Structure 1
Amino acid sequence: MALGTACSAERPPHTAGSGTSASFPAAPTAVRPPTANAVFDYQLGGAYPPPETVRAVSRDRTAKPAPGRYNICYVNAFQAQPDDTGSWEDDHPELLLRDEHGDPVIDEGWDEPLLDISTGAKRAALMQIVGPWIDGCAKAGYDAVEPDNLDSYERSDGRLAPGHAAAFARLLARRAHQRHLAVAQKNTTDLLPQRGRIGFDFAVVEECTRYKECTDFAAAYANRVFVIEYRKQDFTAACRAWGKKLSLTLRDREVRPAGAKGSLRRYC
């Protein structure tokens, strides 16, 4: 996902995973998960002072946390930023997923090359890069981390499987918990049944109303779910159905900072 944007706006609907009514897994004692139904601001396109009513904020890992809020650190853990493609090719070409011609496999929605998480050795090598990003979130004072593009396997032309994503997510969660950070599951109901084994503590979900996933995530995470909707009709429906239980926000798809042309931000 490119900085300042959200996950693929046209991701296909997922089939709800089984076992979502299981009890919410307890987080490690040194980790502080968010509270349910906290007013939430999604600030990936640029940091700005949140309104007084906002209690939780998600920002890119390069930004500082918002004082006095529950802060979630965004890390693009499963794909490369478009403007970082050259450095990955120069420094770590073996860690980019390749097609049959040797070219990087690209998430065409956001022009992001997929990282190769297909083997234990490559996942370990990627942790040498992504792990310090998580460390930086902790050092900056964040409370939690959201590793994005957990569902990159859906865009891999069959070169990656859900098991690869789960295995890498377990490494990310372990590193985050070692740094006393809670960990969010970002999208994809496919991996909900494995949430406890992976180590997820809550969820950050895009368009769960549009794709009819809110019930599954709410049940899995005891309403500790931050929802971002990008269409007004979905946000209205979400507020009507979930406004007293989940953290809901309406954003423009580019998640522009407050005051920028085209910026859209509402809460319920």
Structure 2
Amino acid sequence: MGVIRRVLARSAAVAAALALTPAAAVTTAGPATAQSATAQSAATQESAARASTAQASAAQSAATQASAAQPSAARSAVGSAAKDAAESAAEGAALWRPPLQSRWQYQLEGNPQHAATGGIDVDVCAVPHTGGACVRPTVFDIDLYVDSELAGNNSTVNTAAVKAIHARGAKAICYVDAGSIEDFRPDYRQFLDWHKSHGGSLLGKPFSADFPNERWANINNDRGQRDFLLKMMAARVDKCARAGFDGVEFDVVNAYEEGKKVTGWTVSAATQLAYNRALAKLAHDRGLSVALKNDTGQAAELVSSFDYAVNESCFQWDECAELDVFVKAGKPVFHVEYATAPASFCSRANKLGFNSIKKPADLSLRDKPFKPCR
């Protein structure tokens, strides 16, 4: 079975939308004339890294000056605070944080024509909605594993794609499902065994009628569920880091707003915040930046913990305004619409400063069609 997409939209509404909304025509162009923001992106990242390093040095210098002027107890407190600030600045310099304007590609399903690069078309190029020459993404959001239909197994980490993406000056985000448990993943048995040995307290209802092979995870911690999930997610993120990925996208992190009728669990907003912040820390502790996936209702509370947002269908659900907190913080929004035509959302997305693309209404995430808004 190939890598399977899941969408956090309400499944019944999605089905209705797909029935009523025809798939928009998508225009692609060959790679003959490409405009790439890679050099600009790299320069921006270098500048940010230098600035963060300078901040760390300034913090250390301030600690030294304050230490000379303060009594011993005060010196200790000031020195400790400055050390924390310096360490925070140094961490910021080490993480990849994409520029606000960063064109992206979302491909979770492999193409056998690109087997040498893990099924990912790293040279994809298309004319944007705004017209002109074909353009290439500088950020690729791909699955941790090679599509099983290409690899012949479900456990081949996609280092080939990551290396090819880096060779073209782009960055790679590692897709990890953190809120539903998929039965085609290589570590699925561990989740199932834990569920059975803890009174059936981990695996909830099927994610949706479209995706019955994954079940909502219980992120409460009354029996240690959240602790176990975070342990498993840490192991997955370790693989992302070893494979050379630059960031992580944790999917299905909005169980609290779906409710028990959908998920099988009663999850509070506070519990969701705790889980999502713990996931962000997992990524940062391993030197990876991290995306907030959907969960627009908590965007304002989580923007300080995440480095960018990945959103599906915010125009369809009229939720895009809630992502403005990321743009105002200088953090990019990587956005995709499925059932909405580019003519209906691209102009608005560009005005909001989003990095938006159109993918097919059937929710597939192959290399093509690829239609960026700008």
Give the TM-score taking structure 2 as reference length.
0.59
CA shift for structure 1 position 96: 8.8
Q: Find out whether 1:115 has 2:220 as its counterpart.
A: no
Unaligned runs of 5+ in 2: 15-88, 111-119, 126-135, 146-157
From the superposition, tell whether residues 149 and 158 of structure 1 become closer, same or farther in structure 2 (CA, over 3 Å). Answer: same
Q: 1:13-162 residue pairs with structure 2 within 5 A? A: 28-46=92-110, 47-51=120-124, 53-62=136-145, 63-64=158-159, 65=162, 66-67=165-166, 68-84=169-185, 87-88=189-190, 90-93=192-195, 104-109=204-209, 110-111=211-212, 112-119=214-221, 121-153=224-256, 154=258, 155-162=262-269
Structure with the largest fraction of helix? 2
Q: Which amino acid aligns with 1:190?
A: G
**Percent same amino acid among aligned pairs?**
24
Listed one character per residue, the Cα deviations across residues 172-209 of structure 1 (whole Å, up to 9, x for unaligned) are 11111111111111002221132146x11110000011
**TM-score, normalization by structure 1:** 0.80
Measured on the aligned residues, the alpha-carbon RMSD in Å equals: 2.9
Structure 1's 86 and 220: CA in aligned 2 closer, same or farther, altered over 3 A? closer
Q: Quick check: which has more Rg, 1 or 2? A: 2
Paired with 1:150 and 1:257, the residues of 2 have a C-alpha distance of 23
Q: Quick check: 1:75–1:133 contact (8 Å CA) kept in 2?
A: yes
Deviation, structure 1 residue 230: 0.4
Q: Per-residue displacement from partner, 1:215-249 (whole Å, max 9, x unpaired)?
A: 2213334361000110242x323211122621111
Q: CA deviation at 1:164?
A: 1.9
| Counterpart selection for 1:200 from 306, 313, 326 | 306
| Structure 2 SS opposite 1:208 | coil
Q: Separation in 2 of the partners of 1:97 and 1:149?
A: 23
Change (3 A) 1:130 1:96: farther
Q: State the 1:82 CA deviation.
A: 3.6
Shift of 1:43: 0.6
Instruction: Give the match's secondary structure for 1:5.
Output: coil
Aligned to 1:181: 288
* CA positional deviation for 1:143: 1.3
Q: Which aligned segments of 4 or more residues in structure 1 are displaced greater than 6 angstroms?
A: none
1:69 to 1:95, Cα distance in 2 relative to 1, 3 A: farther
In the TM superposition, residue 170 of structure 1 has moved relative to its aligned partner by 1.6
- Bigger drift between 125-134 and 201-210 goes to 125-134
